[in-house]
Amino acid sequence: MKIKQLLLAAAAVGVFAGLAGCADKKTGDAPERTRIAMVVKSLGNGFFDAAHQGAKDAAAEIGGVEIIYTGPTTPSAEGQIEIINSLISQKVDAIVVSANDPNALVPIAKKAMQRGIKVISFDSALAPGGRQMQLNPSNAELIGQKQIEMAAAEMNGKGELAILSASAQATNQNIWIGVMKKTLEQPQYAGLKLVATVYGDDQSDKSYREAIGLLRSHPNLKAIIAPTTVGIVAASKAVADEGLVGKVFVTGLGLPSEMAGHVKSGAVREFAIWNPIDLGYAATFAAHQFVTGKAQSGDGAIVSVGRLGAVTLDANGETALGPPFTYNAGNVDQFAKLF
Ligand code: RAM
């Protein structure tokens, strides 16, 4: 009896020991998943869908990374604040955000960083106090100047132009518009007159209505610059619907996949963009570098962006990928297959 009890006890200990061993093994051996949330300006925007693709590519390459892709339905700072609050409760490891406002998100982003969450802004920047780094797609001067150059070429250097932007607080569009206005002060652009700047909030219907408004209230308009992939599609459609192809030219920043038809209709001759897949990939890769302690913030800090190489942060914690590329009837179909 005694022996049997002992054996049973030993078996029980063995079983428990085995179970405990299993449990240890589970937590010890199973690789912990890193959760990186990509918070975009708004959902339903093809540009951010492409950035999401890049984020997934980075996650697959790194391994053990889960991407949470999220954003408000319309591009508002309030919507992003709510989302970041919930990501803080979910204890994600990093937040990669394209901000709808440079300052409004800073307090919630600071809260996230205080809880150990790494915050990277990409595309549309957060003010320096709210993030570990900002990844710009390209140099802002280049992006702004390029758009004036394209418009000036289509207008033969003379006439009225207007800007159809995204939301009024968007960091990236506002910086580019600032550069465009400065560029227009140069003597070679003295013949160009900026008559209006309107905001379509990166919503197709509002952007379309704003474009129609521009065309009707400025009958001498020769070009619309839309520094937003949503706005440029809407403006192209408005020009076609109003029967103004050949009279009013649309240019700006667009996705080849969304613009090919408008280049063929003649509403657009040339537009620019960088690779949004690479942008999402690089931002996600950089976020992972911060999570694993391989990257630090600071002037001159070098951050690996995987297959794209490495970037160096400036005194504002900002950095940029390559120059924008231009598209026209000669190459738009080829790139339309990619993004
Ligand atoms: C829209 C968004 C995005 C911008 C592109 C060019 O998709 O506003 O932030 O970078 O356009």
pLDDT confidence tier of residue 20, bands split at 50, 70 and 90: very low
HEC profile for the chain?
Answer: CHHHHHHHHHHHHHHHHHHHHHHHHHHHHCCCCEEEEEECCCCCCHHHHHHHHHHHHHHHHHCCEEEEEECCCCCCHHHHHHHHHHHHHCCCCEEEECCCCCCCCHHHHHHHHHCCCEEEEECCCCCHHHCCEEEECCCHHHHHHHHHHHHHHHCCCCEEEEEEECCCCCHHHHHHHHHHHHHHCCHHHCCEEEEEEEECCCCHHHHHHHHHHHHHHCCCEEEEEECCHHHHHHHHHHHHHCCCECCEEEEEECCHHHHHHHHHHCCECCEEECCHHHHHHHHHHHHHHHHCCCCCCCCCCEEECHHHCEEECCCCCEEECCCCEEECCCCHHHHHCCC
Round to whole Å and give the CA distance between 200 and 121.
23
Res 30: pLDDT: 58
Judge contact between 319 and 134, C-beta under 8 A: yes
Nearest CA among 186, 164, 159, 190 for reference residue 176: 164
C-alpha to C-alpha distance for 289 and 55, rounded to whole angstroms: 14
Give this prediction's pTM.
0.91
Q: 123 CB under 6 A from ligand 1?
A: yes
Region 117-131: what's the mean pLDDT?
A: 98
Distances in Å between the Cα of 163 and the Cα atoms of 40, 249, 256, 325 are 23, 12, 20, 20
Q: Of the ranges 12-21, 25-34, 117-126, 167-176, which one carries the lowest mean pLDDT score?
A: 12-21
Half-sphere CA count of 336, side-chain side, radius 13 A: 15
CB 272 within 8 A of CB 147: yes
**Burial class of residue 333 in the structure, from the number of CB atoms within 10 Å of its CB (0-12 exposed, 13-18 middle, 19+ buried):** middle
Taking the centre of ligand 1 as the mean of its atom positions, its distance from the CA of residue 229, in whole angstroms, is 6
Distance CA 125, CA 97 (A): 8
Instruction: Count the Cβ atoms, other than its own, within 10 Å of residue 323.
Output: 14
As given in the structure block, the two tokens for residue 47 are 């540009």
- Which pLDDT belongs to residue 32? 83
Could you report the per-residue pLDDT of 279-336, keeping only the tens digit for each?
999 999 999 999 999 999 999 999 999 999 999 999 999 999 999 999 999 999 999 9
Q: Which protein residue has the closest C-alpha to ligand 1 atom 2?
A: 228
pLDDT tens digits, one per residue of 1-19: 444 444 444 444 333 333 3
CA nearest ligand 1 atom 4, residue: 228
Residues in the chain: 339
Q: Tell me what pLDDT residue 200 has.
A: 98
Query: Residue 124: CB within 6 Å of ligand 1?
Result: yes
Centre of ligand 1 from the C-alpha of residue 205, in Å: 16
pLDDT surpasses 70 at 37? yes
Q: Is the CB of 202 under 6 A from ligand 1?
A: yes
Instruction: Dump pLDDT digits (tens) for 271-294.
Output: 999 999 999 999 999 999 999 999
Residue 238 has pLDDT above 90, yes or no: yes
Check if the beta carbon of residue 147 is closer than 8 Å to that of residue 253: yes
Paired sense of beta strands 302-304 and 271-273, if any:
unpaired
The percent of residues above 90 in pLDDT, for the chain, comes to: 90
Cβ(201) – ligand 1 distance below 6 Å: no
Residue 234 CA neighbour count, 13 Å, CB half: 29
User: Quick one: average pLDDT of 46-67?
Assistant: 98
Domains and CATH numbers, the chain: 34-136+276-322 (3.40.50.2300), 140-273 (3.40.50.2300)
Least confident of 9-23, 139-153, 189-203, 212-226: 9-23
* Cα–Cα distance measured from residue 286 to residue 242, given in angstroms and rounded to the nearest whole number: 45
Q: Does residue 72 carry a pLDDT above 50?
A: yes
Residue nearest atom 3 of ligand 1, based on CA coordinates? 228
Kindly report the protein residue whose alpha carbon is nearest to atom 10 of ligand 1. 123
Residue range 74-106, pLDDT digits in tens: 999 999 999 999 999 999 999 999 999 999 999
Direct distance between the N- and C-terminal alpha carbons of the chain, in angstroms, rounded to an integer: 76
Alpha carbon of 173 to those of 51, 60, 128, 254: distances in Å? 17, 31, 18, 13
Q: How far is the CA of 42 from the centre of ligand 1 (A)?
A: 10
User: Where is average pLDDT lowest: 19-28, 147-156, 166-175, 294-303?
Assistant: 19-28
Cα 315 to ligand 1 centre (Å): 25
Q: What's residue 16's pLDDT?
A: 37
Mean pLDDT in residue range 42-57: 98
